Amino acid sequence: MNASLAKAIPIALIASSAVTGCSYSEYHEDLTAGLNGSFEVVQDGLPVNWYFYTEDTAGGDFDIVVDTDVFIDGEQSVRFDVRDCSDEGGRHSPGLFQEFDAVPGKTYTVSFLARNDGTRFRAGVLGVDPKTGGPFESITDRSDSFSNWQRFEYKFEMPDHEKLRFEISVLGPGVLWIDNIRILD
């Protein structure tokens, strides 16, 4: 890894966002876990410090599983077992997201690892403020299966917004594993 990218951005997880109080996602917080991008810290069946669109919030027929058999970093990954879902994305589909404090004009490297067995999934970033959001910039939109872990990386120049939002949506049936999410400056 490039030495200039080795320093992770200070993570300030959203705890009082309007999203926290709404029924669009499920969230468990543990600030001692930091980013928890390899999903090692779990509470009530879900990795902490990530918002999840679950069956209860997004509808559809799917499970979100902390997988201790298939992982690449740490000792587990998060797996979406999707039998039926909306292809709309965001709060309408299985997925996860988080928002981080960010500096306008600064470039961030956002990366994650994935394995895919049949799903269509989309990942991307955007800048957001409490009432506005910039255009969604796609990191990937894939529907092909791949049994080996693949790394996805994107350099994102932060627009004039307060927060960087990273989101993954599962848009069709199949199984998707996610591990090792990183946001570096």
DSSP, residue by residue, 112-174: EEEEEES--EEEEEEEE-SS-B---EEEEEE-S-EEEEEEEEEEEE--SSSEEEEEEEE-SSE
State the Cα–Cα distance between residues 183 and 185, nearest whole angstrom.
Answer: 7
Check pLDDT > 60 for residue 11.
Answer: no
User: What's the structural domain count of the chain?
Assistant: 1
Q: Are strands 51-53 and 26-27 parallel, antiparallel or unpaired?
A: antiparallel
The domain that contains 18 carries what CATH number? 2.60.120.260
- Phi/psi for 56 (5° steps) reads -65, -30
Query: Domain of 169?
Result: 3-184
Q: Is the pTM of this model over 0.85?
A: yes
Q: What is the pLDDT of residue 23?
A: 65
Q: How confident is the model over 124-166, as pLDDT tens digits?
A: 999 999 888 989 999 999 999 999 999 999 999 999 999 999 9
